[in-house]
Structure 1
């Protein structure tokens, strides 16, 4: 009996201690809520609530938009500068999957220029010369943003590789070529889309503009 009574005492004490801590926490929470209610009432017509909401939601919304812009700029750079013979269609002259991948992240204006200028250059270089391009991701940042337009700065490098000889599966890669360019985006239907890009420093002159850069100075970016 003595042993049982002794062993029960710590358990009861522990339970009382846990409930005591819980009671203190409840009192602290109630006190915080009471103070918040006082501040709201003092500000009148919910002004305090508005400021409290703004302190979180406004900043969070802006950061979400910035994240979306950077993500889309990154996807554009990766998609437009990652291609090779494995993306050729059955006829070995067109690249439908590559085309679709790029056009998922660009505006209608960019798409028209890309299909007229950039895409034919890529398809020709791949189908005729067997060129393979890979992209390294370095950095991306938002330079400017408002409700429906944004500008992102992108930096990275791409690497071209060619078959050692016609029909060979062995490739010789060039040195990585660094680049830095400015990407313009527009918000359409609630989605950020790339509308244009412009090289910021030394790059292939033929790559300036929107679609033509797919065969020149574009590359990948990272957040």
Structure 2
């Protein structure tokens, strides 16, 4: 797919501190999970640690996975929604541009991302901007700083996978319940996302293959 140009993007520097008691508990050793354990020996994952930090894959779209037996909004068909960032002129400084679900569109630059060997996921049109999680559940687009809050588990080339912070494998990017277009996504506990059939993603229009 051909990248569009000329989309204005604000660059905010987020406050990446852990501000509340829940966040501190979430980072305790008791809640940490070895993010690499389930991926051992699986050749379908992009092995970040075997590449240089600047190596990258994509562009690709991140499509919400629709599996056998799923039912969204009372329908048994795939709603075909993808992760998208939305530029907002009224966005509150420090929160970053929001992430949302929208109908998958191969040519839509706001749905095109790349993965890098440093575990970041970046905008294909501006590789200085990273998908970042902030606070307890927030998810947005911020200038890349190398922060742990911008590091994600490996992107899987085929099949379905969870989008989880590399240090918090029990948290997932999700909208939690049955998806709708233009609905915000955020971080939630993976078991809750699994209950709503919105824990998994797949790649579409992956130019790495």
Q: Which has the larger radius of gyration?
A: 1
Bigger proportion of residues as helix: 1
TM-score range, shorter chain: under 0.3
* TM-score, length of structure 2 as denominator length: 0.23
* TM-score, length of structure 1 as denominator length: 0.22
- Identify which of structures 1 and 2 has the higher relative contact order when contacts are C-alpha pairs closer than 8 Å and 6+ apart: 2
